[in-house]
């Protein structure tokens, strides 16, 4: 499922493909997945492709933007001129001025695109992990005042932006922290370990172009899978041996989704 590293990978690749191009036609095959007025962005030059949290932004010269949320299974495929074969789950097709095509796919129809004026954006996202605002001090402040379980807190987009189940699971494993532990009960040392683990894991995951493991529909813009799933130490490792201590990785339901952890080394 596209989290920060996946959306960032898509952003970088897409930017090289569509910067300075225009969208000349929008085909909406699934109405609920396209919000706003497509006419606002037709034939306007794309001046940037950005990201905030798990949301991709295609920014146009006239101040409008297409927001893209991939949710669980969303994909964007870029195909050069002439190779315009839709995917089985294509819901929206964007035709570009150079004859290329963008396919927005999602089997489950949870993903969406939205046309909005940048000035009208009301974002309630927390700190971006890869920016200079993400300091140990700022992280400590967030951790110290929350009675929530640490994993729930890390996935709260209004506190820390862009982390989902995969990367919170891996970061908590790396920092040897039990996912259900209350945030404010973390020691300074644990908080520091968690802070550095988040940065290291997010950066490594971007290097490997995201995770396309079991059940993961995420693909890069060219359709290829990412590689970070080969480095999972906890996520989807239920029943396997912990690579640190040899105990069996456990799965528990937490806040509606699966938490994976080592019952011996995560305290």
Q: Which active-site residues does the annotation give?
A: 2-3, 54, 257
Smaller CB distance to DNA: residue 100 or 115? 115
CB of 154 to DNA, least distance (A): 11
Q: Could you give the residue ranges of the DSSP H alpha helices within the chain?
A: 4-18, 136-144, 150-155, 165-174, 188-207
Paired sense of beta strands 112-117 and 250-254, if any: unpaired
**Contacts (Cβ under 8 Å, ≥6 apart) of 175:** 190, 193, 194, 197
Smaller CB distance to DNA: residue 149 or 179? 149
Among residues 32, 141, 144, 200, the one that binds DNA under rule CB under 7 A: 32
CB of 155 to DNA, least distance (A): 6
x-or-dash string of contact with DNA, 209-228, rule CB under 7 A: -----xx-------------
Our finding on whether 152 is near DNA (CB under 7 A) is: yes
For residues 262 and 170, is the Cβ–Cβ distance under 8 A?
no
Our finding on whether 147 is near DNA (CB under 7 A) is: yes
Local structure of residue 113 (DSSP, 8 states): E
Total residue count of the chain as it appears in this document: 267
Q: DSSP letters of 53-97? A: TTEEEEEETTSEEEEEE-TTT-EEEEE-TT-----TTEEEEEEET
Q: Which of residues 49-108 bind DNA (CB under 7 A)?
A: 53-54, 69, 71-72, 107-108
Site for DNA, rule CB under 7 A: 1, 32, 53-54, 69, 71-72, 107-110, 146-149, 152, 155, 157, 164-165, 214-215, 253, 255-258
């Amino acid at each position: 499922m596209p989290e920060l590293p996946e959306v960032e990978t898509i952003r970088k690749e897409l930017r090289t493909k569509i910067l300075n191009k225009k969208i000349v036609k929008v085909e909406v095959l699934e109405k609920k997945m396209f919000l706003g007025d497509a006419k606002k962005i037709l034939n306007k030059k794309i001046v940037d492709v950005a990201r905030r949290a798990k949301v991709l932004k295609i920014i146009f010269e006239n101040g409008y933007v297409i927001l893209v949320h991939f949710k669980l299974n969303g994909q964007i495929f870029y195909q050069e001129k002439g190779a315009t074969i839709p995917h089985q789950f294509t819901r929206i097709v964007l035709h570009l001025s150079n004859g290329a095509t963008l396919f927005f796919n999602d089997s489950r129809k949870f993903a969406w695109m939205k046309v909005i004026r940048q000035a009208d954006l009301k974002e309630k996202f927390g700190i971006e992990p890869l920016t200079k605002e993400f300091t140990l001090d700022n992280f400590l402040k967030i951790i110290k005042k929350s009675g929530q379980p640490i994993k729930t807190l890390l996935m709260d987009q209004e506190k820390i932006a862009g982390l989902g189940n995969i990367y919170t699971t891996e970061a908590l494993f790396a920092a040897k922290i039990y996912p259900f532990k209350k945030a404010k009960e973390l020691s300074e040392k644990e908080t520091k370990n968690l802070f550095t683990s988040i940065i290291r894991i997010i950066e490594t995951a971007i290097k490997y172009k995201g995770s396309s493991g079991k059940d993961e529909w995420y693909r890069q813009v060219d359709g290829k899978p990412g590689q970070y799933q080969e480095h999972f130490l906890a996520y989807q490792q239920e029943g396997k041996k912990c690579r640190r201590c040899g105990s069996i990785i456990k799965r528990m339901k937490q806040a509606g989704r699966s938490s994976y952890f080592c019952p011996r080394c995560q305290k």
